[in-house]
Amino acid sequence: MEYIKIRFLDDFGHIGSKFEKTIEDMFRSMSPAFTLAERTWKPPMDMNETPEEVVIVAEIPGVDKDDLEVEISSKAVRIQGNRIARHCSSDATYRLAEIQYGRFERVLFLPAPIDPEVVSAAYQNGLLEIRLAKQPPEKTHKIPIQDG
């Protein structure tokens, strides 16, 4: 059986400047070659929640499973990886270049606390599916109040 790397963390630290990412996204929309730093892309993802679990599905075709890493903290999931560019022959001229390559990273904040002991990930046909079991709701106890 093959496994996807999953690490459990307390905190992700600095996620990056939101302003810097906004400026980069604005210029990249005018020219796909523009980037402030290392070229990154954002694969589309879905997250849904049932009473028992949180399910995340990432659409990342062309990414080798060995180039994926999933990190889980108590509050968020970080999915990162790398899609390696396919090179065309040296005498070819691009007429259209829409597929994004390079490193990607997404941090998704979880809608509920999860049980880190009950997590699974599967990668098939370009879709990464992560299933996170929710923590059972905390039980409350009624405490009788005595006189005096």
Looking at residue 98, its pLDDT comes to 86
Three-class SS state of 26: helix
Query: Which DSSP category does 73 fall into?
Result: -
Q: Residue 64 — pLDDT band, cuts 50, 70, 90?
A: very high
- Nearest-5° angle of CA 108, CA 114, CA 115? 140
Please give the residue that has the higher pLDDT: either 9 or 102: 102
What is the domain partition of the chain in residue ranges?
6-88+101-134
Please determine, for residue 36, whether its predicted confidence score (pLDDT) is greater than 80: no
Fold of 6-88+101-134: Immunoglobulin-like (2.60.40)
Looking at residue 32, its pLDDT comes to 52
Q: pLDDT tens digit string along 100-131?
A: 999 999 999 999 999 888 899 999 999 999 99
Please determine, for residue 12, whether its predicted confidence score (pLDDT) is greater than 70: no
Q: Residue 21 — pLDDT band, cuts 50, 70, 90?
A: low
Q: pLDDT tens digit string along 71-106?
A: 998 789 999 999 998 888 888 888 888 889 999 999
Please give the residue that has the higher pLDDT: either 35 or 60: 60
Question: Rounded to whole angstroms, what are the CA distances from 89 to 7, 86, 93, 102?
Answer: 39, 10, 9, 19
Looking at residue 59, its pLDDT comes to 97
**For 52-61, what is the mean pLDDT?**
96
Q: How far apart are the first and last CA of the chain?
A: 64
For residue 79, give the H/E element and its range.
strand 76-83
Phi, psi (deg, nearest 5) at residue 21: -70, -35
Residue 104: Cβ within 10 Å count: 21
Question: Rounded to whole angstroms, what are the CA distances from 32 to 2, 25, 109?
Answer: 35, 9, 28
- Nearest-5° angle of CA 142, CA 146, CA 148? 150
Please give the residue that has the higher pLDDT: either 12 or 145: 145
